[in-house]
Structure 1
Amino acid sequence: MLDQQILEVEERLAKLRFDPGVVDGVFTEETATALWALQKLNGLKPVSRVTPATERALKRPRKIRRPVRDGVVVDLGDQLLFHYERGKLRLIAHVSTGANRHYCLKAHCGYAVTPVGEFRVQRRVHGWEDGPLGAMYKPVYFNGGIALHGSVEVPKRAASHGCVRMPLHIADRLFPRLPVGTTVLVRR
């Protein structure tokens, strides 16, 4: 059933470059992750509801620093991804990056960190790929085995083994826009 308030929130999120999925007045997981991204960008705790502070952020969102060039910017502090194309902001998305802790999984041990720096897309895989630490949807590799990729689990905090996890619908949207050679800037 259509909810007029949710429809207005989805329309505003889409206008602000957060992708709420289908704009239809139905609160979905895609709507929630877009809302989390808006809340995180504005220094709010990510929750799956429109609070009074969220309403204010929808009306007057925080200004975003412009990148040096087109491509993807991953902000580790806010757990957000920004995509720029032809000098314009195209997308702001909720992500989950490296948990910054030791791990052992399937006889593979390491330190879960997303490297900071400027990289380039090296390789892409259309569809699902099984990696040593789990399945990745439409991975876009930018630093060896580290990739931007869709995941069925994208928690509100840094929780990955080093990759940049994003919601599946965001991976679908970004994959065709990130050819080999695209800049990926990871910053604190």
Structure 2
Amino acid sequence: MDIQRHEVSRRAAVAAVVGAGAFGVAGVVATPAHAAVRTLERGHTGADVLALQKRLAQLRYWVGTPDGTFGHLTQQAVWALQKVAGVSRTGKVAAVERSLLSRGVRTRPRSTSGNVLEVDLARQLLFVIGNGALVYVLNTSTGSGERYYSGSSWKTARTPTGSYSIYYRWPNGWQNGSLGSMWRPTYWKGDFAIHGSQSIPPYPASHGCCRVSTAAQDMLWAQGRVAIGRRVWVY
């Protein structure tokens, strides 16, 4: 009977951890020594993934709708967390990331008022500011610094710094050009735009635009975050 009672208690403890998730408002849920905590990565599913997504969202790292599946958007959010913390950009959640989530690591953008889209080139992050408050943190990929040929001349893939305003938006869908395709681009200086892409690595890789996921770009449109006249501050 003692063995049976111990087994029931052990199962209950593990179930409680899984049910609550490995992350909470107050921090990491205490896990029994014999209950393994897995490293979460793309393709994983379960209650622990759902708890991760909810915690990321609580800290303003945009994950879309938490659904318990570690997909593209969750990986984007984890990269954003890792960039804010200045740790290795693995896209996975192990002990280091669990500690960051437990401590509630987040960033403070520069804007303290108004509705602004901030692009931090050094950390490759895009901050959505609403009425002076941080609304979302997004992983972004900007100018790679590499040379490329376009329009009968060689150019360097750089994202210009400064304060600008969105002046034109592609109505819907993909805009196709000589340098590739952009999902619902919103232009803020010349040919430079914030746009959706199917490739948003955790490092500079674009011709100068600010790439985000197509789902994130749809969200920015739906919530009016990329309206004509919206300030874009690149630094």
- Using the size of structure 2 for normalisation, the TM-score is 0.75
Q: In terms of Rg, which structure is larger? A: 2
1:25 maps onto 2:25 in alignment = no
Structure 1, unpaired ranges of 5+ = none
Tell me which residue corresponds to 2:187: 141
Cα RMSD, aligned residues only: 1.7
Task: Provide the residue aligned with 1:43 in structure 2.
Answer: 86
Residue 104 of structure 1: CA displacement?
A: 2.2
Which residue of structure 2 lines up, in the alignment, with residue 5 of structure 1? 48
2:147 to 102, 118, 136: 102
Please state how far the C-alpha of 1:121 moved relative to its aligned partner.
0.4
Confirm or deny: 8 A CA contact 1:106 1:132 kept in the other structure. no
TM-superposed deviation, 1:105: 5.6
Q: State the 1:169 CA deviation.
A: 1.1
Match of 2:230 among 159, 167, 182: 182
| Structure 1 residue matching 2:154: 3-state secondary structure | strand
Counterpart code for 2:232: V
Structure 2 alignment gaps of length 5 or more: 1-43
- 2:108 pairs with 1:58: no
Contact 2:84–2:107, Cα closer than 8 Å, also in 1: no
CA change 1:174–1:136 in 2 (3 A) is: same
Report if aligned partners of 1:121, 1:182 keep a CA contact under 8 Å in 2: yes
Structure with the greater relative contact order (CA < 8 A, sep ≥ 6): 1 or 2? 1
1:149-188 equivalences in 2 (<5 Å) = 149-175=195-221, 176-187=224-235
What percent of counterpart residues are identical? 36
The answer to which of 141-150 and 172-181 deviates more is 172-181
